[in-house]
Amino acid sequence: MEPSFRNCTYTCMGPPMAASVGQRLETLYHIIQYKLGQVLHDWHASDASAYMILSPWKDVFPAANWERLMVNHIVLKLRLVLQEFEVNPSNQNLDQFNWVMMWANAIPVHHMVHLLEFGFFNKWHQVLYHWLCNKPDYNEVWNWYMGWKNLFPVELLANERIRVLMSTGLDMMNSAVDGNEVLQPSTTENVSYLRATERKQAEAMQQAGTSTSILDLSFKETIQAFASEQGIPLMPRVGKFHNGYQVYDFGAVGIYMFSSKRLLYAQAKDGIWSAVSLTQLMDMNRTVRRWR
């Protein structure tokens, strides 16, 4: 008989029952993980019984063991589900999204955030961008935005990266309502991150008793703060300019800043300059360093 959640017995009993067995749980972890891995091999994310059986074990397993179980067997399957998921404002099917979000409290938050950033938000931002470029009903767009926001648990909405990704959409909407050009999501992300950085700086100054009226971080200063946060040197290239803008080395990548539009440009290996997001800039730096 193929292993499944319907026919598993000892392996799938809850922690209290397992604890009643006269052995220390520590000696059973590797056995339990192996058995669960067998059961999960053919599991599909639409089967909610896996969550009901596994979630009670979260506080029983050591954190590292639990994370390994989630990454090796659950996150991989949820990633496949999100690859098939479509964001469609006119006819939205939420089944696949709900299968993923069911695990939000079980999967370590940094893995959940990464899963959503690259499996959901990239599609969500693109759909919103194209929608806003076609003169939509802004009340309808706002209701759509709030509808999605309400689908996220409070714990995820409190995450800084999720807030930036949600704010990217909000910044695009505000630009459209104000009659300004709606920027591609990759460049809008920079503005959202920088605003979040400015807000954190302001809160820190308030807590320190410093007046926020003197806080006026320039675009350059916020990029410097980001570079410092990532542990990457940001140095000007002496005497080097592009289109009249000072060129800097962000690690191994040449960049310049279009401060009035709060845009960041980076030079690719072929010498071409293009607007990039902070995420893209980090990827470029890793790629260049790997090939040097």
The domain of 82 spans 1-106
| 88 within domain boundaries | yes
For residue 125, pLDDT over 80 is answered with yes
34 falls within a domain:
yes
Q: What's the half-sphere exposure (Cβ side, CA atoms, 13 Å) at 123?
A: 14
- For residue 48, being part of any structural domain is answered with yes
Confidence of residue 213 (pLDDT cuts 50, 70, 90): very low
Q: Is the pLDDT of residue 70 over 50?
A: yes
Give the mean pLDDT of 172-191: 75
For residue 60, what pLDDT is reported?
A: 81
| Environment class of 44 (CB within 10 Å of its CB; exposed 0-12, middle 13-18, buried 19+) | exposed
Average pLDDT score over residue span 247-251: 93
The predicted structure's pLDDT at residue 214: 32
The answer as to whether 202 is a domain residue is no
- Predicted pLDDT at 9: 44
**C-alpha 194, offset from chain centre:** 16
| 191 vs 51, more confident | 51
pLDDT of 134 strictly over 60: yes
Asked if residue 13 belongs to a domain, the reply is yes
Instruction: Judge whether 40 lies within some domain.
Output: yes
Residue 80 has a pLDDT of 92
Q: What is the pTM of this model?
A: 0.61
Task: Between 226 and 120, name the one with better pLDDT.
Answer: 120
List CB contacts of 245: < 8 A, sequence separation 6 or more: 256, 257, 258, 265
Q: Specify the number of domains making up the chain.
A: 1
Please check whether residue 182 lies inside any domain of the structure.
Answer: no
What per-residue confidence (pLDDT) applies to 198? 53
Predicted pLDDT at 177: 87
Core vs surface per residue 243-254: b (16+ CB within 10 A) or e: eeeebbbbbbbb
**Which residues, including other chains, have CB under 8 Å from residue 38's CB and lie 6 or more apart?**
3
Residue 50 lies in a domain: yes
